[in-house]
Amino acid sequence: GYDISALLKETGNVTLDSGFVNTAACTSAITFIDGDTGILRYRGYPIEQLAEQSTYLETAYLLIYGELPSADEMASFDAKIRRHTLLHEDLKAFFNGFPRDAHPMPVLSSAVSALSTFYQDSLDPFDQDQVEISTYRLLAKLPTIAAYAYKKSMGQPFLYPDNHLSLTENFLRMTFGFPAEPYELDPTIVKGLDLLLLLHADHEQNCSTSTVRLVGSSHANLFASISAGINALFGPLHGGANQQVLEMLAQVKNSGESPKDFMMHVKNKETKQKLMGFGHRVYKNYDPRASIIKQTADDILGRLGVDDPLLDIAMELEEIALGDDYFVERRLYPNVDFYTGLIYKAMGFPTKMFTVLFALGRLPGWIAQWREMIEDPATKIGRPRQVYIGEGARDYVAIDQR
Protein backbone atom coordinates (compact mmCIF):
# COMPACT_ATOMS: atom_id res chain seq x y z
CA GLY A 1 0.00 0.00 0.00
CA TYR A 2 2.83 2.50 -0.61
CA ASP A 3 4.41 4.16 -3.65
CA ILE A 4 7.96 2.87 -3.63
CA SER A 5 9.34 5.27 -6.28
CA ALA A 6 8.00 8.30 -4.38
CA LEU A 7 9.50 6.95 -1.15
CA LEU A 8 12.86 6.31 -2.85
CA LYS A 9 12.97 9.92 -4.08
CA GLU A 10 11.99 11.21 -0.66
CA THR A 11 14.82 9.22 0.91
CA GLY A 12 17.31 11.05 -1.28
CA ASN A 13 17.55 8.81 -4.32
CA VAL A 14 18.79 5.71 -2.52
CA THR A 15 18.65 2.35 -4.27
CA LEU A 16 16.41 -0.33 -2.82
CA ASP A 17 18.05 -3.69 -3.54
CA SER A 18 16.69 -6.32 -1.18
CA GLY A 19 19.21 -9.15 -0.83
CA PHE A 20 21.84 -7.07 -2.72
CA VAL A 21 20.95 -8.77 -5.99
CA ASN A 22 22.53 -6.03 -8.13
CA THR A 23 24.62 -4.03 -5.70
CA ALA A 24 28.39 -4.46 -5.37
CA ALA A 25 29.64 -3.45 -1.94
CA CYS A 26 33.37 -3.57 -2.72
CA THR A 27 36.02 -4.18 -5.34
CA SER A 28 37.98 -7.41 -4.98
CA ALA A 29 40.90 -9.14 -6.70
CA ILE A 30 40.42 -12.55 -5.07
CA THR A 31 37.71 -14.62 -6.75
CA PHE A 32 36.10 -14.36 -10.17
CA ILE A 33 32.72 -15.96 -10.90
CA ASP A 34 30.79 -15.96 -14.16
CA GLY A 35 27.46 -17.41 -13.09
CA ASP A 36 26.02 -17.65 -16.60
CA THR A 37 28.74 -19.86 -17.98
CA GLY A 38 29.72 -21.55 -14.71
CA ILE A 39 33.27 -20.22 -14.30
CA LEU A 40 35.08 -19.96 -10.95
CA ARG A 41 38.68 -18.76 -10.57
CA TYR A 42 40.79 -18.03 -7.48
CA ARG A 43 43.29 -15.25 -8.19
CA GLY A 44 42.88 -16.06 -11.89
CA TYR A 45 43.48 -19.82 -11.60
CA PRO A 46 40.56 -21.99 -12.78
CA ILE A 47 39.02 -24.05 -9.97
CA GLU A 48 39.38 -27.19 -12.10
CA GLN A 49 43.19 -26.78 -12.26
CA LEU A 50 43.48 -26.08 -8.54
CA ALA A 51 41.26 -29.08 -7.72
CA GLU A 52 43.46 -31.30 -9.88
CA GLN A 53 46.89 -30.02 -8.86
CA SER A 54 46.84 -27.95 -5.69
CA THR A 55 46.08 -28.63 -2.02
CA TYR A 56 43.80 -26.87 0.45
CA LEU A 57 46.72 -25.24 2.28
CA GLU A 58 48.46 -24.08 -0.89
CA THR A 59 45.15 -22.65 -2.14
CA ALA A 60 44.74 -20.90 1.23
CA TYR A 61 48.13 -19.26 0.66
CA LEU A 62 47.12 -18.27 -2.87
CA LEU A 63 43.87 -16.67 -1.69
CA ILE A 64 45.46 -14.80 1.20
CA TYR A 65 48.71 -13.62 -0.41
CA GLY A 66 47.62 -13.41 -4.06
CA GLU A 67 50.24 -15.69 -5.65
CA LEU A 68 51.07 -19.39 -5.58
CA PRO A 69 53.91 -19.92 -3.08
CA SER A 70 57.44 -21.01 -4.01
CA ALA A 71 58.56 -24.29 -2.40
CA ASP A 72 60.32 -22.35 0.40
CA GLU A 73 57.35 -20.07 1.01
CA MET A 74 55.04 -23.09 1.18
CA ALA A 75 57.31 -24.96 3.61
CA SER A 76 57.53 -21.93 5.89
CA PHE A 77 53.73 -21.33 5.76
CA ASP A 78 53.03 -24.99 6.51
CA ALA A 79 55.52 -24.98 9.44
CA LYS A 80 53.91 -21.86 10.94
CA ILE A 81 50.44 -23.39 10.74
CA ARG A 82 51.67 -26.62 12.35
CA ARG A 83 53.20 -24.63 15.22
CA HIS A 84 49.88 -23.02 16.16
CA THR A 85 47.51 -25.98 16.27
CA LEU A 86 47.32 -26.31 20.07
CA LEU A 87 44.46 -24.67 21.95
CA HIS A 88 45.13 -22.86 25.23
CA GLU A 89 44.21 -25.28 28.03
CA ASP A 90 41.70 -22.78 29.43
CA LEU A 91 39.95 -22.57 26.05
CA LYS A 92 39.36 -26.32 26.25
CA ALA A 93 37.18 -25.71 29.31
CA PHE A 94 34.68 -23.90 27.08
CA PHE A 95 33.65 -27.13 25.41
CA ASN A 96 32.40 -28.52 28.72
CA GLY A 97 30.06 -25.56 29.19
CA PHE A 98 27.84 -26.51 26.26
CA PRO A 99 25.15 -29.19 26.34
CA ARG A 100 26.44 -32.45 24.91
CA ASP A 101 23.89 -32.42 22.10
CA ALA A 102 24.78 -28.85 21.08
CA HIS A 103 25.06 -28.21 17.36
CA PRO A 104 28.79 -27.83 16.65
CA MET A 105 28.37 -24.61 14.60
CA PRO A 106 27.56 -22.31 17.56
CA VAL A 107 30.29 -24.11 19.52
CA LEU A 108 32.69 -23.24 16.68
CA SER A 109 31.67 -19.58 16.47
CA SER A 110 31.81 -19.18 20.27
CA ALA A 111 35.31 -20.68 20.47
CA VAL A 112 36.54 -18.45 17.62
CA SER A 113 35.02 -15.41 19.31
CA ALA A 114 36.81 -16.42 22.52
CA LEU A 115 40.20 -16.31 20.72
CA SER A 116 40.05 -12.49 21.08
CA THR A 117 40.17 -12.94 24.86
CA PHE A 118 43.20 -15.24 24.73
CA TYR A 119 45.11 -13.07 22.22
CA GLN A 120 44.32 -9.53 23.25
CA ASP A 121 47.17 -8.11 21.14
CA SER A 122 45.04 -9.04 18.15
CA LEU A 123 42.50 -6.29 18.76
CA ASP A 124 44.13 -3.66 16.49
CA PRO A 125 43.17 -4.60 12.90
CA PHE A 126 45.93 -2.33 11.50
CA ASP A 127 48.78 -4.06 13.34
CA GLN A 128 50.12 -6.10 10.43
CA ASP A 129 52.22 -8.46 12.57
CA GLN A 130 49.16 -9.28 14.65
CA VAL A 131 47.00 -9.80 11.56
CA GLU A 132 49.65 -12.20 10.26
CA ILE A 133 49.81 -14.21 13.48
CA SER A 134 46.00 -14.20 13.81
CA THR A 135 45.90 -15.66 10.29
CA TYR A 136 48.15 -18.59 11.31
CA ARG A 137 46.26 -19.04 14.56
CA LEU A 138 42.91 -19.26 12.82
CA LEU A 139 44.04 -21.62 10.08
CA ALA A 140 45.80 -23.85 12.62
CA LYS A 141 43.28 -23.80 15.44
CA LEU A 142 39.95 -24.03 13.63
CA PRO A 143 40.53 -27.73 12.76
CA THR A 144 41.39 -28.41 16.44
CA ILE A 145 38.28 -26.51 17.59
CA ALA A 146 36.12 -28.38 15.05
CA ALA A 147 37.51 -31.76 16.15
CA TYR A 148 36.92 -30.89 19.83
CA ALA A 149 33.33 -29.83 19.09
CA TYR A 150 32.85 -33.27 17.52
CA LYS A 151 34.55 -35.13 20.38
CA LYS A 152 32.42 -33.27 22.91
CA SER A 153 29.23 -34.23 21.07
CA MET A 154 30.34 -37.88 21.13
CA GLY A 155 31.37 -37.84 24.81
CA GLN A 156 34.89 -38.88 23.77
CA PRO A 157 38.26 -37.59 25.05
CA PHE A 158 40.09 -34.81 23.17
CA LEU A 159 43.32 -35.56 21.33
CA TYR A 160 46.21 -33.13 21.22
CA PRO A 161 47.27 -32.25 17.67
CA ASP A 162 50.19 -34.20 16.22
CA ASN A 163 52.20 -31.70 14.24
CA HIS A 164 54.01 -34.32 12.21
CA LEU A 165 50.75 -34.55 10.28
CA SER A 166 49.41 -32.19 7.62
CA LEU A 167 46.46 -29.97 8.49
CA THR A 168 43.88 -32.29 6.92
CA GLU A 169 45.49 -35.45 8.39
CA ASN A 170 45.71 -33.86 11.82
CA PHE A 171 42.04 -32.86 11.72
CA LEU A 172 40.97 -36.39 10.77
CA ARG A 173 43.09 -37.93 13.53
CA MET A 174 41.82 -35.50 16.19
CA THR A 175 38.24 -36.20 15.04
CA PHE A 176 38.23 -39.96 14.68
CA GLY A 177 41.28 -41.09 16.67
CA PHE A 178 41.60 -42.06 20.35
CA PRO A 179 44.40 -41.18 22.81
CA ALA A 180 47.14 -43.82 23.05
CA GLU A 181 45.76 -45.69 20.06
CA PRO A 182 47.37 -45.51 16.62
CA TYR A 183 45.12 -43.92 14.02
CA GLU A 184 45.48 -45.20 10.50
CA LEU A 185 44.89 -42.50 7.91
CA ASP A 186 42.98 -43.57 4.82
CA PRO A 187 44.59 -41.84 1.80
CA THR A 188 41.22 -41.76 -0.05
CA ILE A 189 39.64 -39.85 2.84
CA VAL A 190 42.63 -37.50 3.28
CA LYS A 191 42.73 -36.61 -0.41
CA GLY A 192 38.94 -36.39 -0.74
CA LEU A 193 38.52 -34.15 2.31
CA ASP A 194 41.41 -31.91 1.24
CA LEU A 195 39.74 -31.50 -2.16
CA LEU A 196 36.35 -30.62 -0.64
CA LEU A 197 37.97 -28.04 1.65
CA LEU A 198 39.78 -26.53 -1.35
CA LEU A 199 36.56 -26.32 -3.36
CA HIS A 200 34.89 -24.35 -0.56
CA ALA A 201 37.84 -22.02 0.06
CA ASP A 202 36.30 -18.83 -1.33
CA HIS A 203 33.24 -17.70 -3.22
CA GLU A 204 33.46 -13.90 -3.36
CA GLN A 205 30.71 -11.88 -1.64
CA ASN A 206 28.39 -14.65 -0.39
CA CYS A 207 26.36 -14.15 2.81
CA SER A 208 29.05 -15.22 5.31
CA THR A 209 31.89 -13.40 3.52
CA SER A 210 29.83 -10.21 3.28
CA THR A 211 29.16 -10.61 7.01
CA VAL A 212 32.89 -10.93 7.73
CA ARG A 213 33.56 -7.76 5.70
CA LEU A 214 30.66 -5.83 7.24
CA VAL A 215 31.66 -6.66 10.81
CA GLY A 216 35.33 -5.98 9.97
CA SER A 217 34.44 -2.63 8.42
CA SER A 218 33.75 -1.37 11.97
CA HIS A 219 37.42 -2.30 12.66
CA ALA A 220 36.45 -5.37 14.66
CA ASN A 221 39.43 -7.77 14.65
CA LEU A 222 39.82 -10.91 12.56
CA PHE A 223 38.54 -13.32 15.23
CA ALA A 224 35.35 -11.32 15.91
CA SER A 225 34.64 -10.90 12.20
CA ILE A 226 35.14 -14.57 11.40
CA SER A 227 33.05 -15.68 14.35
CA ALA A 228 30.21 -13.61 12.83
CA GLY A 229 30.85 -15.24 9.44
CA ILE A 230 30.53 -18.70 11.00
CA ASN A 231 27.13 -17.73 12.38
CA ALA A 232 26.02 -16.51 8.94
CA LEU A 233 27.15 -19.80 7.44
CA PHE A 234 25.04 -21.73 9.97
CA GLY A 235 21.81 -20.76 8.17
CA PRO A 236 20.07 -23.45 6.08
CA LEU A 237 19.98 -21.23 2.98
CA HIS A 238 23.78 -20.96 3.08
CA GLY A 239 26.24 -23.44 4.64
CA GLY A 240 23.53 -25.28 6.56
CA ALA A 241 22.19 -26.56 3.25
CA ASN A 242 24.66 -29.48 3.12
CA GLN A 243 23.14 -30.92 6.30
CA GLN A 244 19.63 -30.28 4.97
CA VAL A 245 20.35 -32.06 1.67
CA LEU A 246 21.17 -35.28 3.47
CA GLU A 247 18.16 -34.95 5.77
CA MET A 248 15.99 -34.38 2.70
CA LEU A 249 17.40 -37.46 0.91
CA ALA A 250 16.84 -39.56 4.04
CA GLN A 251 13.29 -38.19 4.28
CA VAL A 252 12.59 -39.27 0.67
CA LYS A 253 14.00 -42.72 1.35
CA ASN A 254 12.16 -43.21 4.66
CA SER A 255 8.83 -41.88 3.41
CA GLY A 256 8.77 -44.56 0.75
CA GLU A 257 7.55 -42.08 -1.86
CA SER A 258 9.30 -41.86 -5.21
CA PRO A 259 11.70 -39.00 -6.05
CA LYS A 260 9.15 -37.99 -8.70
CA ASP A 261 6.41 -37.60 -6.08
CA PHE A 262 8.77 -35.70 -3.81
CA MET A 263 9.42 -33.26 -6.66
CA MET A 264 5.68 -32.53 -6.82
CA HIS A 265 5.94 -31.12 -3.25
CA VAL A 266 8.94 -29.02 -4.27
CA LYS A 267 7.06 -27.49 -7.18
CA ASN A 268 4.03 -26.79 -5.03
CA LYS A 269 4.83 -23.42 -3.43
CA GLU A 270 2.27 -24.05 -0.66
CA THR A 271 4.48 -26.75 0.88
CA LYS A 272 7.48 -24.38 1.17
CA GLN A 273 9.61 -27.47 0.48
CA LYS A 274 12.77 -26.61 -1.49
CA LEU A 275 15.06 -28.97 -3.31
CA MET A 276 17.97 -28.34 -0.96
CA GLY A 277 21.35 -28.20 -2.70
CA PHE A 278 19.75 -26.67 -5.79
CA GLY A 279 19.79 -23.08 -6.95
CA HIS A 280 22.28 -20.32 -6.48
CA ARG A 281 22.18 -16.53 -6.41
CA VAL A 282 25.03 -16.24 -8.92
CA TYR A 283 25.19 -19.54 -10.82
CA LYS A 284 22.42 -19.81 -13.36
CA ASN A 285 24.24 -22.77 -14.85
CA TYR A 286 25.88 -25.88 -13.37
CA ASP A 287 28.02 -24.87 -10.36
CA PRO A 288 31.58 -25.84 -11.48
CA ARG A 289 32.34 -27.07 -7.95
CA ALA A 290 29.29 -29.36 -8.10
CA SER A 291 30.57 -30.88 -11.39
CA ILE A 292 33.90 -31.74 -9.76
CA ILE A 293 32.21 -33.07 -6.62
CA LYS A 294 29.72 -35.18 -8.58
CA GLN A 295 32.61 -36.84 -10.44
CA THR A 296 34.46 -37.44 -7.14
CA ALA A 297 31.41 -38.68 -5.18
CA ASP A 298 31.14 -41.88 -7.21
CA ASP A 299 34.88 -42.47 -7.06
CA ILE A 300 35.26 -41.84 -3.31
CA LEU A 301 32.19 -43.88 -2.34
CA GLY A 302 33.42 -46.70 -4.59
CA ARG A 303 36.91 -46.66 -3.08
CA LEU A 304 35.54 -46.59 0.46
CA GLY A 305 33.31 -49.51 -0.45
CA VAL A 306 30.14 -47.55 0.40
CA ASP A 307 26.97 -48.31 -1.52
CA ASP A 308 24.60 -45.57 -0.37
CA PRO A 309 21.02 -45.67 -1.67
CA LEU A 310 20.85 -41.92 -0.96
CA LEU A 311 23.31 -41.35 -3.83
CA ASP A 312 20.88 -43.04 -6.21
CA ILE A 313 18.04 -40.84 -4.91
CA ALA A 314 20.21 -37.71 -5.35
CA MET A 315 21.06 -38.65 -8.93
CA GLU A 316 17.44 -39.38 -9.73
CA LEU A 317 16.31 -36.04 -8.26
CA GLU A 318 18.93 -34.26 -10.34
CA GLU A 319 17.88 -36.05 -13.49
CA ILE A 320 14.24 -35.14 -12.91
CA ALA A 321 15.16 -31.50 -12.20
CA LEU A 322 17.31 -31.10 -15.29
CA GLY A 323 14.36 -32.15 -17.46
CA ASP A 324 11.63 -30.28 -15.60
CA ASP A 325 10.30 -26.89 -16.76
CA TYR A 326 10.04 -25.58 -13.18
CA PHE A 327 13.82 -25.94 -12.69
CA VAL A 328 14.81 -25.16 -16.28
CA GLU A 329 12.85 -21.89 -16.39
CA ARG A 330 14.28 -20.75 -13.06
CA ARG A 331 17.75 -21.95 -14.06
CA LEU A 332 18.13 -24.07 -10.93
CA TYR A 333 21.10 -26.47 -10.99
CA PRO A 334 22.89 -28.46 -8.29
CA ASN A 335 25.12 -26.24 -6.14
CA VAL A 336 28.28 -27.22 -4.25
CA ASP A 337 26.23 -28.76 -1.46
CA PHE A 338 24.13 -31.24 -3.39
CA TYR A 339 26.69 -34.08 -3.32
CA THR A 340 29.08 -33.08 -0.51
CA GLY A 341 26.95 -34.50 2.32
CA LEU A 342 26.98 -37.95 0.75
CA ILE A 343 30.78 -37.89 0.68
CA TYR A 344 31.08 -36.60 4.24
CA LYS A 345 28.70 -39.32 5.39
CA ALA A 346 30.77 -41.99 3.63
CA MET A 347 33.86 -40.62 5.40
CA GLY A 348 32.14 -41.17 8.75
CA PHE A 349 31.06 -37.63 9.67
CA PRO A 350 27.64 -37.21 11.32
CA THR A 351 25.28 -34.77 9.53
CA LYS A 352 25.70 -32.11 12.23
CA MET A 353 29.38 -31.78 11.27
CA PHE A 354 28.77 -31.05 7.58
CA THR A 355 28.43 -27.28 8.00
CA VAL A 356 31.50 -27.26 10.25
CA LEU A 357 33.45 -28.80 7.36
CA PHE A 358 32.16 -26.02 5.13
CA ALA A 359 33.43 -23.47 7.67
CA LEU A 360 36.88 -25.11 7.72
CA GLY A 361 36.98 -24.92 3.95
CA ARG A 362 35.74 -21.32 3.72
CA LEU A 363 38.13 -19.97 6.36
CA PRO A 364 40.98 -18.95 3.96
CA GLY A 365 38.47 -16.99 1.86
CA TRP A 366 37.11 -15.15 4.90
CA ILE A 367 40.65 -14.27 6.00
CA ALA A 368 41.69 -13.14 2.50
CA GLN A 369 38.56 -11.00 2.10
CA TRP A 370 38.91 -9.43 5.57
CA ARG A 371 42.56 -8.56 4.88
CA GLU A 372 41.71 -7.11 1.47
CA MET A 373 38.93 -5.04 3.07
CA ILE A 374 41.12 -3.70 5.89
CA GLU A 375 43.99 -2.82 3.49
CA ASP A 376 41.70 -1.07 0.99
CA PRO A 377 41.80 2.72 1.54
CA ALA A 378 38.34 2.95 -0.07
CA THR A 379 36.74 0.87 2.72
CA LYS A 380 34.17 2.71 4.79
CA ILE A 381 32.12 1.35 7.63
CA GLY A 382 29.31 -0.73 6.09
CA ARG A 383 26.09 1.07 6.73
CA PRO A 384 23.20 0.35 4.33
CA ARG A 385 20.39 2.85 3.96
CA GLN A 386 16.67 2.01 4.23
CA VAL A 387 13.37 3.17 2.81
CA TYR A 388 11.13 4.09 5.73
CA ILE A 389 7.54 2.86 5.31
CA GLY A 390 6.25 3.35 8.86
CA GLU A 391 3.93 5.94 10.48
CA GLY A 392 4.40 9.67 9.94
CA ALA A 393 4.99 11.97 12.94
CA ARG A 394 2.36 11.57 15.69
CA ASP A 395 1.92 12.64 19.31
CA TYR A 396 2.51 10.43 22.30
CA VAL A 397 -0.67 9.17 23.99
CA ALA A 398 -0.68 8.60 27.76
CA ILE A 399 -1.13 4.92 28.71
CA ASP A 400 -4.54 5.42 30.39
CA GLN A 401 -5.91 7.02 27.18
CA ARG A 402 -4.94 4.26 24.70
The residue from 54, 205, 335, 369 that contacts ligand ACO (CB under 6 A) is 335
91 vs 359, beta carbon nearer ligand ACO: 359
Which amino acid would we find at residue 302?
A: G
Applying CB under 6 A, the site for ligand ACO has a residue count of: 19
Q: How far is the CB of 207 from ligand ACO (least distance, A)?
A: 7
Residues 6+ apart with CB under 8 A from 346: 300, 301, 304, 306, 308
In the Cβ-directed half-sphere of 101, how many Cα atoms lie within 13 Å? Answer: 0
Question: Which residue, judged by CB position, is nearest to ligand ACO in the bound state?
Answer: 279
Identify which of 287, 311, 291, 315 has the alpha carbon closest to the alpha carbon of residue 301.
Answer: 311
Contact segment (CB under 6 A) with ligand ACO among 34-42, 118-126, 238-246, 390-398 equals 238-246
Residues 6+ apart with CB under 8 A from 280: 35, 287, 333, 335
Q: How far is the CB of 168 from ligand ACO (least distance, A)?
A: 20
The residue from 174, 336, 343, 360 that contacts ligand ACO (CB under 6 A) is 336
Catalytic residue among 280, 307, 324, 325: 280
User: Annotated catalytic, 299?
Assistant: no
Q: Is residue 104 a contact partner of residue 353, using CB atoms and an 8 Å limit?
A: yes
Residues 6+ apart with CB under 8 A from 319: none
287 vs 372, beta carbon nearer ligand ACO: 287
* Footprint of ligand ACO on 259-288 (CB under 6 A): 266, 274-281
Distance separating the N- and C-terminal Cα atoms of the chain = 26
- Should residue 237 be labelled a site residue for ligand ACO when binding is judged by CB under 6 A? yes
Reduced to 3 states (helix: H, G, I; strand: E, B; else coil), residue 278 is strand
Sign of dihedral through CA atoms 166, 171, 172, 174?
A: positive
Alpha-carbon 16 to chain mean position: 27
125 vs 334, beta carbon nearer ligand ACO: 334
- A 10 A CB-CB count for 132 gives 13
Catalytic residue among 202, 337, 395, 400: 337
Q: How far is the CB of 28 from ligand ACO (least distance, A)?
A: 18
Q: How far is the CB of 9 from ligand ACO (least distance, A)?
A: 27
- Should residue 141 be labelled a site residue for ligand ACO when binding is judged by CB under 6 A? no
Q: How far is the CB of 340 from ligand ACO (least distance, A)?
A: 9
Q: How far is the CB of 18 from ligand ACO (least distance, A)?
A: 9
Which amino acid would we find at residue 288?
A: P
* Footprint of ligand ACO on 5-44 (CB under 6 A): 19
Q: Is residue 60 a contact partner of residue 168, using CB atoms and an 8 Å limit?
A: no
User: Annotated catalytic, 164?
Assistant: no
Which H helix or E strand runs over 116? helix 104-118
Instruction: Report the distance separating Cα 293 and Cα 337, nearest Å.
Output: 9
66: left (phi over 0), alpha (psi -120 to 50) or beta: left
Contact segment (CB under 6 A) with ligand ACO among 44-52, 65-73, 252-260, 329-337 equals 329-337
- Should residue 210 be labelled a site residue for ligand ACO when binding is judged by CB under 6 A? no
- Should residue 332 be labelled a site residue for ligand ACO when binding is judged by CB under 6 A? yes
275 vs 359, beta carbon nearer ligand ACO: 275
Residues of this chain that bind ligand ACO (CB under 6 A): 19, 237-239, 241, 266, 274-281, 330, 332, 335-337
Catalytic site residues? 280, 337
